[in-house]
Amino acid sequence: MRFEKTAAGYGDLDDRAFKLKRLYYPQYPYNLQHQLKAKPADEIGRDKGGFEQQRTARAEDRLRRETLKLWADGTLRPSAPRPVKIYSVHDARDLAIRLKRPAGGGPPAQTFASAAYMRRFRLRFVGAVLKLIRDNPAAEVGLVTIIPRDWRIRGRDLPAIKPKQYLERFRQQLVRAGLKDADGWLIAFLHGDYDPSHDTYQLHLHVVATGGLVPLLRQLKALPIYRRGDPTAPGFVRQPIRVLSLKDPERRVSYYLGQAFWPSKPSYMKDGVWRRHPRRQRIPNPRLAEWLMWIDRQSFGDLLMLRGCRIGGGTLTLQGNASRTA
């Protein structure tokens, strides 16, 4: 095993992110390279691209490496106050080295900070989810976006954020709502976007759920943290909980479970209401370098929660009450 020293002690690099061999390479019907095709822009001009190409992911990793090296040598002005107690010059340089394409064309580093790795992760994990859905056609699938108001954090606070604690908060909400007796399965993915107008991150959840878990998620709307709040206040969310039916499963499941990056979406005031720009941009520096070092330290269990299904034998299988909907 490979170990490195971190602010929290020594961590095993091989335990970061997710070991891709735990899931089989997807067969043609569930393979995003074949099933996720580019589509014309929609009515507001948003492109609907196909599955990312390998060369595009490698180019993104080269850009990320340069960002990290600039942060490490001081050329890139650090945020204030600089999170030196959590991120160090060594951390930035080490990650930059690991993001370099391996000699001889080997696999990318096992880290969610690598676009090339995320491409492979999305291919296998989303493929396994698509197979699970199609193997259980009787189960109605709901796609849920959950944005708790108290998950808005300052940019400088991200280094200390432990995403697994946020997933546990969400799980406890479900437990109090009746999770124990609900049938179906659920996969929740913790994601975030950055608001450069206020230097804040908005953490949120993308959830794919079936059976009795969909109405259970709707029940959470009654909780105070899921009320709309003041539309004139920064961070206003119009729909804290939004439920969609499953259409275009390859595109929507790949969006909900495993986006390759966190976008930057500036906020602005219009007609007395705070709004977020719909266009997804790159997180500006130096926050990008800091986000890369943060996401590098996360594992599968830090960012994703499974209920009613498990990974085993190279695929996703149902367990417990989830089989009632099969």
Q: Which domain holds residue 98?
A: 3-325
Is the pLDDT at 95 greater than 60? The verdict is yes
* Other beta carbons within 10 Å of 24: 15
- Predicted TM-score (pTM) of this structure: 0.90
Instruction: Kindly report which listed range (75-89, 121-135, 272-286) carries the lowest average pLDDT score.
Output: 75-89
* Other beta carbons within 10 Å of 15: 15
How many domains would you assign to the chain? Answer: 1
pLDDT in the model for residue 9:
39
Is the pLDDT at 13 greater than 70? The verdict is no
Residue pair 110/12 in contact by the 8 Å Cβ criterion: no
The tokens describing 216, both together, are 């259970």
Mean pLDDT of 27-38: 94
pLDDT tens digits, 230-253: 888 888 888 999 999 998 999 999
Residue pair 271/143 in contact by the 8 Å Cβ criterion: no
The tokens describing 3, both together, are 């170990």
Cα–Cα distances in angstroms (integers) from residue 229 to residues 2, 87, 233, 274, in the given order? 47, 34, 8, 11
pLDDT in the model for residue 110:
97
Q: Which residue has the tokens 């002005």?
A: 77
Question: Which carries the bigger pLDDT value, residue 161 or residue 45?
Answer: 161
* Other beta carbons within 10 Å of 60: 20
List the beta bridge partners of residue 184: none
Residue pair 221/240 in contact by the 8 Å Cβ criterion: yes
Q: Which residue has the tokens 């495993």?
A: 258
The torsion angle over the Cα atoms of residues 151, 155, 159 and 165, rounded to 10 degrees, is: 0
pLDDT tens digits, 270-300: 888 888 888 889 999 999 999 999 999 999 9
Is the pLDDT at 3 greater than 80? The verdict is no
By residue count, the chain amounts to 326
Instruction: Kindly report which listed range (20-34, 156-170, 183-197, 229-243) carries the lowest average pLDDT score.
Output: 229-243
Phi/psi of residue 10, nearest 5 degrees: -105, 135
Query: Could you give the count of Cα atoms lying within 13 Å of 254 in the half-sphere of its Cβ?
Result: 25
Mean pLDDT of 260-279: 89
Q: Classify residue 88 as left (phi > 0), alpha (psi -120 to 50) or beta.
A: beta
Rounded distance between C-alpha atoms, residue 123 and residue 31, angstroms? 7
pLDDT in the model for residue 244:
94
Q: What is the average pLDDT value for the chain, to the nearest integer?
A: 89
* Other beta carbons within 10 Å of 305: 21
Q: What angle do CA 173, 280, 258 make, to 5 degrees?
A: 50
Instruction: Kindly report which listed range (48-57, 75-84, 247-256, 295-304) carries the lowest average pLDDT score.
Output: 75-84
Rounded distance between C-alpha atoms, residue 15 and residue 19, angstroms? 8
The tokens describing 15, both together, are 């335990």
Is the pLDDT at 1 greater than 50? The verdict is no
Residue 139: pLDDT band (50, 70, 90) is confident
